[in-house]
Amino acid sequence: ERPRMINFCLFGAGRIGKLHARNIAENPRSRLRYVFDPMAKAAADLARIHGAKTVADPAAALADPAIDAVLIASSTSTHVDLLTAAAKAGKAVLCEKPIDLDIKRVDKCLAGLKKHKAPVLIGFKAGIGLVIIVDQLPKLFGAHYPKGTFGQSLLSLVQSLPGTSLATLAVG
């Protein structure tokens, strides 16, 4: 049985967004469907390179039931709102660090995320490779996620990215 294709929406078409778009496009189990950036030309250029569409509003991409996962690579000031909206929409989320520069906003965001069942990952480059902090770890990648499910597909995808090592810590 073939692994499930994971359809992504990317928020942020800057330097790190371009890197993530390339990684998504190069993986045969993932597809970049939408790109959003306040700089419409940057979003359009990146979407065109990878055969994706642009959206004028993140809510439009989040409303698409075909989107499985959201990658947030936008400016830090947008992370809390995009994380919250994506989790509310039931999308798996990988958000670049930091969640916010204000720890009170981070705490409030994390408390709000616990109300939703969406898997949330915070990623950052560290010396050897991508390190991922996984919220709701047991539900995502433990015994509660049988082989062949979306959680296993997402874990396999993350582990297959070039230069990636996976470290997991429970958040919250």
pLDDT for 134 equals 38
In angstroms, the CA 145 to CA 150 distance is: 8
Q: Does residue 93 register a pLDDT over 80?
A: yes
The residue written with tokens 């995320």 in the block is 113
The residue written with tokens 């929406």 in the block is 9
Q: Does residue 139 register a pLDDT over 80?
A: no
What is the average pLDDT across 24-48? Answer: 95
Strands of the sheet with 69-72, listed across from one edge: 53-54, 30-36, 6-11, 69-72, 92-96, 120-126, 129-134
- Beta partners for 6? 30
pLDDT for 64 equals 98
Query: Hey, what amino acid is at 136?
Result: Q
Q: What is the distance of C-alpha 66 from the center of its chain?
A: 15
CB 17 within 8 A of CB 43: no
In angstroms, the CA 66 to CA 79 distance is: 22
In angstroms, the CA 146 to CA 83 distance is: 26
Residue 141 confidence class, pLDDT cut points 50, 70, 90: very low
pLDDT cut 70: percent of the chain above it: 70
Q: Does residue 27 register a pLDDT over 50?
A: yes
Which of 39-43, 109-113, 139-143, 147-151 bottoms out in mean pLDDT, i.e. has the lowest? 139-143
Which of 68-72, 94-98, 159-163 bottoms out in mean pLDDT, i.e. has the lowest? 159-163
Segment 55-75, tens digit of pLDDT: 999 999 999 999 999 999 999
What is the average pLDDT across 62-89? Answer: 96
- Beta partners for 96? 123
Question: How many Cα atoms within 13 Å fall on the side-chain side of residue 23?
Answer: 18
pLDDT for 155 equals 56
CB 147 within 8 A of CB 156: no
pLDDT for 126 equals 52
